[in-house]
């Protein structure tokens, strides 16, 4: 790519897209194009075709997607498969029609089987059943990377696919109804600390910025406590205090708060700072073509995608403890084993990427600190 090449970043305001946009700018790329959802609905086939006809981007990064955590994936199954298929079908096909020089498709490591060998190599794809809770999303992402492969084989396009592990970072989604595990924990533990310290100004400020199910900072304390409890944040009163509603501890006294998180806390997860992921993507755009990947595939061209990860994992329970220490919450964190765990392990094998000369920079402890600073800001 040249520094003045016209690059379209689809989904440039999200966690992934904003990190890519920032990285491209930092590397001196000056001709970036982005469109908000209000400006361009990527599910609208004719609108996407018109956009490509007018703008004629030379390079495309497909970072737009409907994403969410385990609750959202399992609840909005139809939306997750339909919307993601629509978005990627439109963008990938129009990139072919309008002669885009290279496209980068971003998927997710949830494409791998539930019981895949650990760590997961690219060759694990389609070797067993998927995790049930995110199966629709995973199938959409598999379809996207296979569409890129198929277009490359039939039409000679240069479309490459990457599968990042669990991402976190600036512009993450902190909506408790749809967020992924790490940003959800950051917000819940922050709110737990505020409640523990009876810091109602901070609680109301948080809810004003990000209302939860319509509850904002103007709601009554009773309504706020109800919605916090619904998402696992419990303030413990004695029976007498509950009955009279007269419990007002001294300012120096911490209130007894327990945070309940879903599952057993035992699943292992891998996390990658979003800006590290963006640097890996730009590195591949600058240094890797489909023909390079195809050359090592043998007679049958399969699994040409590339994992992006750290190759390191942490138990959800340990992650919660790390965030708790960073934020300074002194209450109790418990795990609700009646709720699903999801896949027990999801560790990527980033050997293919490492062999090309790229490795991550930000370790999890530093990333959590940076994430919380971002949240407070």
The per-residue pLDDT for 237 is: 64
The per-residue pLDDT for 235 is: 94
Mean pLDDT of the 4-26 span: 96
- Spell 116-141 as b/e; 16+ CB within 10 A means b: bebbbbbebbeeeebbebbbbbbbbb
Mean pLDDT of the 51-68 span: 95
Q: Using the predicted structure, report yes or no on whether residue 155 has a pLDDT greater than 60.
A: yes
Sorted by where each begins, the domain ranges of the chain are: 7-172+269-311+345-363
Mean pLDDT of the 106-123 span: 94
pLDDT band at 241 (very low <50, low <70, confident <90, very high): very low
pLDDT in tens, 197-234: 999 999 999 999 999 999 999 999 999 999 999 999 99
Looking at domain 7-172+269-311+345-363, its CATH class is alpha beta
Q: Using the predicted structure, report yes or no on whether residue 353 has a pLDDT greater than 90.
A: yes
pLDDT in tens, 249-281: 555 578 999 999 999 999 999 999 999 999 999
Residue tagged active-site, from 59, 96, 137, 168? 137
The per-residue pLDDT for 359 is: 95
Q: Is 137 a known active-site residue? A: yes
The per-residue pLDDT for 365 is: 96
Q: Which of 307, 287, 289 is nearest to 349 (CA)?
A: 307
The per-residue pLDDT for 200 is: 97
The per-residue pLDDT for 240 is: 41
pLDDT band at 179 (very low <50, low <70, confident <90, very high): confident
The per-residue pLDDT for 252 is: 55
Q: Using the predicted structure, report yes or no on whether residue 165 has a pLDDT greater than 60.
A: yes
The per-residue pLDDT for 366 is: 97
The per-residue pLDDT for 344 is: 84
């Amino acid at each position: 790519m040249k520094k003045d090449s016209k690059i379209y970043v689809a989904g440039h305001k999200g966690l992934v897209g904003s990190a890519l946009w920032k990285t491209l700018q930092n590397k001196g790329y000056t001709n970036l194009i982005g469109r908000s959802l209000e400006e361009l609905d990527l599910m609208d086939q004719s609108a996407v075709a018109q956009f490509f006809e007018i703008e004629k981007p030379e390079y495309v990064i497909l970072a737009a997607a409907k994403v969410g955590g385990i609750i959202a994936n399992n609840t909005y199954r139809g939306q997750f498969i339909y919307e993601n298929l629509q978005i990627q079908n439109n963008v990938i096909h129009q990139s072919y029609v309008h002669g885009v020089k290279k496209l980068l498709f971003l998927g997710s490591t949830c494409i791998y089987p539930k019981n895949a060998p650990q760590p997961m190599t690219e060759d694990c794809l389609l070797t067993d059943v998927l995790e049930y809770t995110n199966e629709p999303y995973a199938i959409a992402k598999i379809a996207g990377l296979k569409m890129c492969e198929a277009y490359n084989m039939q039409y000679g396009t240069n479309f490459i696919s990457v599968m990042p592990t669990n991402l976190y970072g600036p512009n993450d989604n902190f909506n408790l109804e749809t967020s992924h595990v790490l940003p959800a924990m950051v917000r819940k533990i922050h709110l737990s600390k505020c409640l523990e310290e009876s810091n109602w100004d901070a609680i109301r400020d948080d809810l004003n910025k990000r209302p939860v199910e319509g509850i904002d900072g103007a709601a009554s304390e009773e309504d706020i406590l109800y919605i916090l409890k619904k998402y696992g944040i419990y303030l413990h009163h004695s029976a007498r205090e509950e009955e009279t509603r007269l419990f007002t501890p001294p300012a120096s006294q911490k209130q007894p708060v327990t945070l309940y998180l879903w599952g057993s806390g035992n699943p292992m997860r891998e996390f990658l700072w979003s800006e590290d992921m963006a640097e890996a993507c730009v590195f591949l755009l600058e240094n890797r073509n489909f023909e390079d990947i195809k050359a090592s595939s043998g007679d049958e061209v399969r699994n040409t995608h590339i994992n992006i990860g750290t190759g390191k994992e942490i138990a959800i329970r340990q992650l919660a403890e790390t965030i708790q220490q960073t934020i300074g919450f002194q209450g109790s964190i418990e795990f609700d084993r009646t709720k699903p765990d999801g896949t027990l392990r999801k560790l990527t094998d980033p050997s293919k990427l490492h062999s090309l000369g790229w490795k991550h920079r930000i370790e999890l402890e530093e990333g959590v600190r940076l994430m919380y600073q971002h949240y407070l800001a």
